[in-house]
Amino acid sequence: MKKVMLVDDEILIRETIRDCIQWEQEGFIYCGDAPDGEMALNLIEQLRPDIVITDIMMPFMNGLELSAIVRERNPDVKIIILTGHEDFGYARAALRMGVHDYCLKPFRASDLIQLLRGASELIDKEREIKASIDKLKQSELEKIEVSRDKLLNDLCSGFVTTVEAIQLGATLSLDLQARFYAVVISDARTFEDMTIVNTGAASQIEDNLLEQFQQALDRNELIQFKRSRTEICWLIKGETLEQIQHELEIFKELLHINNEQIPTASISIAMGIGSVQERLMNIHLSFLEAVEDMHWRRLSSQNRITLWESISGSMEQYVFLDRAWFVNFLKMGSPSQLSSFIEEYASALAAINWTTSPIGYYILNDLTLEVFRSAKDMYRQWDTPEDTLQQLQQILKSVRSIEEAIQYLTSLTNQFWSWRSQTNDRYGEMLRSVKEYIHANYNNDAFSLQDAAEHVMVSSSHLSKVFSQETGRTFIEYLTHYRILKAMELFKTTSYKSFEIAFLVGYNDSHYFTTLFKRITGMTTKEFKKSGNLDSSLLVMERNDSSEQMIKR
């Protein structure tokens, strides 16, 4: 039923038209009336009529002026002009303006009903045509989206050549050309029927996770596509490595939040990040690495769920092991530090009853999976020895005391170091030279990856890739951590002000330095001055670098 509104300055005419027509019986709704065009405008905005019947000659704003404004604001509204014989010239002007029709005074109710039916039929036809056009547009958009998703999926799967990808991308208005590429994949699933004991802290973590994931979905500047019902892939491209790293920050933050959430949360987001590649044809390598990275993280997540179930959801029984601390030691530590580090690290396991509870197994298995994932992440060309993982998990089942747990952690560390030595032999000398060069030039604010690459006579892209793969840190991360470590030493041993220390460690912008300092250490410079505590992970880096220099001598 179409809504009809009447505008006429004579109240008798308004009441006569309103009362002489059986509106609903005729298929219309009489939604209101107004005495002039000015008052009618506000009512039209509120009532949203489909048809407006208006007199021409009215005070304040006449029918033609009203019609012009309504046509501009609401072109779908049909307008019927009421006019006398002496005003017929106005009626013709109204028709040229786009008014639907006119009705000559005096008129019968049947005359007006006939005009209303004609306007109603036209509205129906126009709506039908619009619906057909919208359907065609939607169909075309869906075809384009399907073609776009297929192209991106084929590109990640290695099924198209570089030339084919660029040509097909151009037909879909998809610019695929860039200097660097990386792939991120996620698998998000919700568990609405899961019974959850959701504490305030757990709820906050889950809310943060959902918020960050939505931010990733909303990043229109990144190329993304659905690989399956639950899987989404992002293709990240950029002209510099720094740009790629910046774009990956939101995904790294997602991984961090995901590790913090309780395993029995109502949402599960598995995610993997592939390596940075320099050619379009190598996108599928980054994709495969992202899929494998997600696989290892999912294994770790499943292990944590089993652990959570074994302790019946009681955090009082949960033993916290800092996995990042352990992995950082594997990357940067030395054999001389092994015994003391393992004893300190494993001290948190002393309270476990190894003979009556499986908690210890799941905690160490979780750490083992993280070590294997990190090894795969660091050494991209390394084929994961699944049999080695199975052997370690078999050994884990026989661990029945804190002493045996220490032995296991020692074996796990040595296993990782054997992988590290196999890969480091190839680039060891070059990396030692680069680190020494960093240590000698970190206080130069203009010091860059290009400077270090020229020092060892390789390209900056090659050095960046090797440095990241072999050390587990990007060149910039290593340089930044070393600068912050030196700043911490200066805060502890001198009375220099923050801006002076910032300059001494290579930062001209003291505000940027203090922001960076807090992000890495977790403390402001003032808080650090009061506590005087050095960050353990940074200390591990320096001790290892010192050991390397001693070995070289």
Q: What is the mean pLDDT of each run of 10 residues along the chain (553 residues)?
A: 91 89 91 90 91 88 88 90 71 75 83 90 90 73 66 84 82 87 87 44 67 80 86 91 87 78 67 86 85 80 66 51 80 84 87 77 82 71 65 84 90 83 70 90 89 85 76 82 90 89 91 86 85 54 42 32
Tokens describing residue 387: 């049999």
Map tokens 């690290």 to a residue.
345
Kind and range of the H or E run holding 235: strand 231-238
Q: What is the C-alpha separation between 521 and 292, in angstroms, rounded? A: 31
305 alpha carbon, distance to own chain's centre: 25
Q: What is the pLDDT of residue 194?
A: 39
pTM metric for this prediction = 0.44
Domain that holds residue 494: 422-552
Q: Are the beta carbons of 245 and 474 closer than 8 angstroms?
A: yes
**200 is a domain residue:** no
**170 is a domain residue:** no
Work out the number of other CB atoms within 10 angstroms of the CB of residue 496.
Answer: 14
**400 is a domain residue:** no
Give helix 536-552 / helix 335-346 axis angle, nearest 10°.
160
Strand order in the sheet with 101-104: 28-34, 2-7, 51-55, 78-83, 101-104
**Closest Cα to residue 352, out of 393, 323, 325, 317?**
317
Tokens describing residue 548: 């390397």
Tokens describing residue 409: 């952690």
Three-class SS of residue 90?
Answer: helix
Residues 6 or more apart whose Cβ sits within 8 Å of residue 200:
none
Q: Are the beta carbons of 180 and 244 closer than 8 angstroms?
A: yes
Three-class SS of residue 428?
Answer: helix
**144 is a domain residue:** no
Phi and psi at 314, nearest 5°, equal -95, 115
Query: Where a domain ends, among 94, 112, 129?
Result: 129
Q: What is the pLDDT of residue 234?
A: 92
Query: Where a domain ends, among 76, 95, 129?
Result: 129
Buried/exposed 408-420: b ≥16 CB within 10 Å, e otherwise: bbbebbebbbebb
Query: Where a domain ends, among 71, 95, 129?
Result: 129
Q: Are the beta carbons of 174 and 223 closer than 8 angstroms?
A: yes
Q: What is the C-alpha separation between 298 and 244, in angstroms, rounded? A: 25
Three-class SS of residue 5?
Answer: strand
**82 is a domain residue:** yes
Question: With helix as H, strand as E and coil as C, how does 44-73 read?
Answer: HHHHCCCEEEEECCCCCCCHHHHHHHHHHH
| Positive or negative torsion for Cα 239, 519, 256, 307 | positive
Q: What is the C-alpha separation between 380 and 465, in angstroms, rounded? A: 10
**191 is a domain residue:** no
Three-class SS of residue 259?
Answer: helix
Q: What is the C-alpha separation between 162 and 180, in angstroms, rounded? A: 14
Three-class SS of residue 149?
Answer: helix
Q: What is the C-alpha separation between 464 and 483, in angstroms, rounded? A: 18
**Closest Cα to residue 294, out of 159, 188, 158?**
188
**294 is a domain residue:** no
User: Which letter does DSSP use for residue 86 in this model?
Assistant: G
CATH number at residue 31: 3.40.50.2300
* Burial degree of 158 (CB within 10 A; 0-12, 13-18, 19+): middle
Q: What is the pLDDT of residue 236?
A: 92
DSSP of 431-484: HHHHHHHHHHHTT-TT--HHHHHHHHTS-HHHHHHHHHHHHSS-HHHHHHHHHH
Between CA 329 and CA 334, with CA 330 as vertex, the angle to 5 degrees is: 75
Tokens describing residue 31: 């939604």
Q: What is the pLDDT of residue 539?
A: 44
Phi and psi at 160, nearest 5°, equal -130, 150
Q: What is the C-alpha separation between 457 and 471, in angstroms, rounded? A: 19
**79 is a domain residue:** yes
| Number of domains forming the structure of the chain | 2
Q: What is the pLDDT of residue 140?
A: 62
CATH number at residue 514: 1.10.10.60
Q: Are the beta carbons of 283 and 277 closer than 8 angstroms?
A: yes
Kind and range of the H or E run holding 102: strand 101-104
| Positive or negative torsion for Cα 542, 548, 552, 553 | positive
